[in-house]
Structure 1
Amino acid sequence: MIKRIFLPILFFTALLVPDHSFGQDKNNPWYISIGVNAVDTYPVDEDNRPLTGGFLNEMYNFEDHWNIIPSLSTIYVGHYIGSGFSLGVRGSLNKIDKLGDVSVDDLAYYAVDGMFTYSFRDAINGEGGWFDPYLGLGGGYNFVGDQPSFGTANGTVGLKLWLGESVNLNLSSTYKHAFEDKYVKHMQHTAGIGFVFGGTDSDGDGIFDKDDECPDTPGLEEFNGCPDTDGDGIKDSEDACPEVAGLPEFNGCPDTDGDGIADPNDECPNTAGIAALNGCPDADGDGVKDSEDECPNEAGPEENNGCPYKDQDNDGVLDKDDECPTVLGTVANNGCPEVTVAVLEEINVQVRTVLFDLDKATIRKESYETLNSVAEIMKEYPNTQFLIEGHTDSQGSDAYNMNLSKERAASVKEYLEGQGLPSSRLSSQGFGETRPVATNATAAGRQKNRRVEISLID
């Protein structure tokens, strides 16, 4: 009968047991097992008395020596202590109809045993594993028939085959040594189904609170019970973007545009850009991001909104630096044209013909056209300052000539200002008779000395 019951169980257990970690441990400290027990007095005595066959002789002769009842007949309750050690109590009942080779009337059998066990599971498999052999030591009280109860010292060899994380098949053989010959020394074999329980898993994630770094939040085993909400392989507590899947190099944040700048730090997360502009693009490479660049495909300075400065007159001086942006000029004169010797001579040829009333500073009307022409030429040089000089001949006193030259120069200056020339560009000065260009001894020479000239102010 025993063979028919237990050999198939052992066979299918070996086939079905998966290869992962389970068992009684600190997370599941309580263990209970229920099953059947068999009592055998035959292989317990070396004296070869009629009731025995010698120590361990025919220990597993099920049919000839074992006493067993066909119902649940044993229960074990144990608690895990730590480091593979457990402490438990087992209660058993049976009927004895064989004492060795001698048949007896059904004798009632009751036993209560305490057991201190050590599991070799972790030593063999590493932590956990389905194969779980163990050894046990303890003692108990036994009641057989009408005999008084008697104590025994017990030694146990057992094997648990874990069928799942909390269920196992538990097989054991225990030698119970009675210290007086009048009491029955015997072997007791058990087979049962065991269950572990007692662990606390507050968040229901399958990881007990003792090992759960996040006991109140469902999480994953690889993160010791902590969650990874976005499933990017970085637990939420270390993930800068726990709601959005990202990359380890960005602390769990994404880089949508693949520019090497994490989205939270990227002002343009959907368009590849550069770090200098916080992830925004700069197509023309002028340091102004495209969204603020009025000329995104043409390099230009930031102060001009990313557009290049123009040079309208193509004189080599940019408009921003060109004081005469629409007039061709020179770099030396800040983009404005410079008065050449020829131009200045042309001005003076005309201004020397300006006529005044006799001994007065009043310009004659017939000279207006000449001065108008001079004004137009001077306007072509908006960055040039002119000095209007008044000169006389030597007739009259020096003081009189000096005063008259000043007044005539001032009169020409005033007229030119009236033609639109700014006063800031014009100055006047009288030199009297101090700078003659011809002799004052002849009328022709004195006529040349009575003149107005224009020179440049550096």
Structure 2
Amino acid sequence: MKHFSRFLVASLLILAVGSVNAQDENNPWSVSVGVNAVDTYPTGEAAYDIPSGMISDEFPNEFYNVEDHWNILPSVSYINVSRYVGNGLVVGVSGSLNRIDQRGDQSVNDLQYYAADAEVGYSLRDLINGEGGWFDPSLYLGGGYTWFENLNSDVVGDPTANAAAGVKIWFTENFNLGLQSKYKHNFRTDSRKHFQHVASLGIAFGGKDTDGDGIYDRDDECPEVAGLPEFNGCPDTDGDGIQDSKDACPTVFGLAEFDGCPDTDGDGIPDPKDACPTVAGIAALGGCPDADGDGIKDSDDECPNEAGPRENNGCPYADRDGDGVLDKDDECPDVVGTVANNGCPEVSVEVLAQLNTDFKNVLFDYNKASLRKESFETLDRVASVMMEYPNTRFLIEGHTDSRGSDSYNKKLSNERAASVRTYLTGKGIPAARLESQGFGEERPIATNNTAAGRQQNRRVVLSILDK
């Protein structure tokens, strides 16, 4: 038991003086040092110059019989250098030395042992943990050369074929404790087959982190400036969750909707674009308020609480429909409208939505642009609504599903939109207020893989045109 105690003590001593990144493409190099134990007993075949019965003929009998069979040099007696090559594969070389005082069940007097090995290892860590993780089991194959001193004091070297299994426990991204058991097979008749067990501490290195933010340069989009992992190494100086390169106000806490700039008065206009950043206003006036809604900011309005024209310094002229547009400028003086629409009513979102709902009932003959008779009642109703908005211009859009060629669908959608325009102009809507355009299959609103989806894509849509 004393040998096993020495083995553990030596491992813990190395651990106590060690410093602590998993070996991967960021830290491709690794160096490990530790202690090794050599065991010739459970190899299933007697070795050269050992009396019969001193080696088990059962493989791997008494594999963990540390006290009787393991040879442990209680000092640093193993070194390994390896490099990560990708896809979980590591190639490495190692060297070790030992003193043999137990050959199987035969006691000997500190025979020399040296070994140099090369191997390819495959890490199972990502298969087990998904990606990364502290538990890192591996399998190894390789070969080497081992020198044993025999009872005649001759040091004899033999090539070996090696197979090993091991596990690394990663304490940090760079530092690990490794445990490995390796079987070394010698093909000579005077066989020196044996097991070698290793406990080691390893450090992975080779990654470059110029700005010291914990993100290696190859993964760091801002390698010269310390940043955050969620922004791939780029900084967020004001801590508003928007990295500086995408933040219009990188030193002032702001909102994502304003590209990182604040909106102090909460009027929906970011402070850099707000002429009145501490008083809620409207975008049309650069963020300044207009209490009477006459389009003149309060600071320039002599009647800030009563709508009036600019030429009268914001005080009202005659406005018989009370829509805020002077009669002299009102294209619809007896109908309440909007300033933006020259005193005429504007089509609301709800009205436009209803018109488009009605348009769903507009049907055409199969593969033609001619309207079906059952569509006439719907279009008459649409025309009557359009009459209520005398200076609003509309775009009639034609759309198809994806069946047929692009050119055919574009032509058919153009013709169908034009048919609707022709019908509405025939009902008294001025031609100057209507435009038509076909988009073919360019703008689907549903999948073209189902009949229901294609039905939704075959449609006529109404939208508002700018004046």
Q: Under a length normalisation based on structure 2, what TM-score does the superposition of the two structures give?
A: 0.61
Task: Give the % identical residues.
Answer: 63
The whole-number CA distance in structure 2 between the counterparts of 1:131 and 1:10 is 18
Q: Work out which of the residue numbers 248, 251, 255 in structure 2 matches 1:240.
A: 248
- What amino acid does structure 2 have at the position aligned with 1:76? N
1:181 CA displacement: 2.5
The whole-number CA distance in structure 1 between the counterparts of 2:44 and 2:8 is 28
Show the 5 A alignment for 1:325-340: none
Q: Is 1:32 the equivalent of 2:36?
A: no
Q: Work out which of the residue numbers 173, 176, 186 in structure 1 matches 2:181.
A: 173
Q: Look up the SS of the partner of 2:162 in the other structure.
A: strand
Q: Is 1:51 the equivalent of 2:59?
A: no
1:92 alignment partner in structure 2? 96
The whole-number CA distance in structure 1 between the counterparts of 2:45 and 2:98 is 25
Given that residues 254 and 262 in structure 2 are in contact (C-alpha distance below 8 angstroms), is that contact kept between their aligned partners in structure 1?
yes
1:113 alignment partner in structure 2? 117
Q: Is 1:214 the equivalent of 2:213?
A: no
Given that residues 150 and 178 in structure 1 are in contact (C-alpha distance below 8 angstroms), is that contact kept between their aligned partners in structure 2?
yes
The whole-number CA distance in structure 2 between the counterparts of 1:58 and 1:137 is 23
Q: Is 1:225 the equivalent of 2:228?
A: no
The whole-number CA distance in structure 2 between the counterparts of 1:203 and 1:175 is 44
The whole-number CA distance in structure 2 between the counterparts of 1:170 and 1:259 is 61
Q: Is 1:61 the equivalent of 2:60?
A: no
Q: What are the superposed Cα offsets for residues 136-177 of structure 1, whole Å, 9 maximum, x if unpaired?
A: 111111111124211100001000001112111000000000
2:134 alignment partner in structure 1? 130
Number of corresponding residues: 302
Max Rg structure: 1
Given that residues 10 and 74 in structure 2 are in contact (C-alpha distance below 8 angstroms), is that contact kept between their aligned partners in structure 1?
no
Given that residues 150 and 183 in structure 1 are in contact (C-alpha distance below 8 angstroms), is that contact kept between their aligned partners in structure 2?
no
2:357 alignment partner in structure 1? none
Q: Is 1:104 the equivalent of 2:108?
A: yes
The whole-number CA distance in structure 2 between the counterparts of 1:123 and 1:304 is 78
Given that residues 35 and 193 in structure 1 are in contact (C-alpha distance below 8 angstroms), is that contact kept between their aligned partners in structure 2?
yes
Q: Look up the SS of the partner of 1:149 in the other structure.
A: strand
1:265 CA displacement: 2.1
Structure 1 residues 10, 66: closer, same or farther in 2, change over 3 A?
A: closer
1:7 CA displacement: 6.9
Structure 1 residues 8, 106: closer, same or farther in 2, change over 3 A?
A: closer
The whole-number CA distance in structure 2 between the counterparts of 1:9 and 1:273 is 74
Task: Give the root-mean-square deviation of aligned CA atoms.
Answer: 2.3
Which range is displaced more, 118-127 or 149-158? 118-127
The whole-number CA distance in structure 2 between the counterparts of 1:76 and 1:47 is 30
1:8 CA displacement: 9.2
Structure 1 residues 84, 279: closer, same or farther in 2, change over 3 A?
A: same
Q: Under a length normalisation based on structure 1, what TM-score does the superposition of the two structures give?
A: 0.63
The whole-number CA distance in structure 2 between the counterparts of 1:8 and 1:266 is 71
Q: Is 1:257 the equivalent of 2:265?
A: yes
Runs of 4+ in 1 over 3 A off after TM superposition: 1-11, 46-49
- What amino acid does structure 2 have at the position aligned with 1:196? A
Given that residues 203 and 215 in structure 1 are in contact (C-alpha distance below 8 angstroms), is that contact kept between their aligned partners in structure 2?
yes
The whole-number CA distance in structure 2 between the counterparts of 1:107 and 1:2 is 16
Given that residues 234 and 244 in structure 2 are in contact (C-alpha distance below 8 angstroms), is that contact kept between their aligned partners in structure 1?
yes
2:162 alignment partner in structure 1? 154
Show the 5 A alignment for 1:345-384: none
The whole-number CA distance in structure 1 between the counterparts of 2:241 and 2:316 is 48
1:3 CA displacement: 4.8
1:123 CA displacement: 1.2
1:301 alignment partner in structure 2? 309
Q: What are the superposed Cα offsets for residues 227-282 of structure 1, whole Å, 9 maximum, x if unpaired?
A: 11111111122222222221122222211111111222222111111122121111
- What amino acid does structure 1 have at the position aligned with 2:156? P
The whole-number CA distance in structure 2 between the counterparts of 1:283 and 1:205 is 51
Q: Look up the SS of the partner of 2:299 in the other structure.
A: helix
Q: Work out which of the residue numbers 184, 200, 211 in structure 2 matches 1:203.
A: 211
- What amino acid does structure 2 have at the position aligned with 1:62? V
Q: Work out which of the residue numbers 76, 80, 99 in structure 2 matches 1:76.
A: 80
Structure 2 unaligned runs (5+)? 13-20, 319-325, 329-467
Given that residues 157 and 173 in structure 1 are in contact (C-alpha distance below 8 angstroms), is that contact kept between their aligned partners in structure 2?
yes
- What amino acid does structure 1 have at the position aligned with 2:278? N
